[in-house]
Amino acid sequence: MSSKKSRVVLVTGASRGIGRAIAQGFAADGHRVACAARSVDAVTALAEEIGGLAVPLDVADGPAIDHALATIEAELGPVEILVNNAGIATSAPLHRTTDEDWDRTIAVNLTACFRLCRGVVPKMVEAGYGRLLFVASNAGLTGYAYTAAYCASKHGVIGLTRALAAELARTGVTANAICPGFVDTEMTQASIQRIRETTGRDEAAARKALEKMNPQRRLIEVDEILHLARAFVSEGARGVNGQAVAVDGGQVMH
């Protein structure tokens, strides 16, 4: 247990990748972590591993969000640190992007963040402390071809971050976004598979194509995202508000 104050943390998309790493890291720091994800078995196993609370949740389901927040408050207390990490990636030319693709991407990547923030912010303001952390993407800072829905959703997340930072600046609540490039996770592996299917490249070549987008010629590791997440929620970062920080080796500079 860390000597720092233990906070109630909610991490969405916690069953794998970045969310899993953040949940594990924050639990190791002594926080009380609620792990939310659609995969019941995976999130239950993670909660058991870290001594946290398993919260099966599809973030695209509004009533389910309300129920999840009520459960967390009853079991652990009001959420003090919200890590909006759950997300999906879609890739298709504009003319093949369906209404369903668009609606689901916006619902999971953006609307869920809004609903979760709306649910936790009042108690944060009342307590005079809160950290809203969004795992966005450098796709929210620039544009990429064949990702209209994804880019739009992540630009929206950064806009939401900045709007909340301005609105809540005098309350003790901060809002910041982490904007990774390609991270070595299951989601990136799915991107590699799509490259293979559309270009005929083998896996090594497809992976190399993504690595080359990073000036450091590598994929980002999950521990790098955890490092920044820890920094954002620290007491020393109380003046850091409304920022969108790229973690991509210098691919996007703004």
Nearest-angstrom CA–CA distance, 1 and 101: 43
Nearest-angstrom CA–CA distance, 148 and 25: 33
Question: What are 220's strand-pairing partners?
Answer: 183
Contact by Cβ (8 Å): 6, 31? yes
Which residues, other chains included, contact 142 with Cβ-Cβ below 8 Å and sequence gap of 6+?
252
Residue identified by tokens 């973030």 is: 59
Element (H, E) at 33: strand 32-37
Query: Catalytic site residue 150?
Result: yes
Contact by Cβ (8 Å): 14, 23? yes
C-beta atoms surrounding 49 within 10 Å: 13
| Residue 57, Ramachandran bin (φ over 0: left; ψ between -120 and 50: alpha; else beta) | beta
Nearest in space to 68 (alpha carbons), one of 27, 32, 36: 36
List active site positions: 150
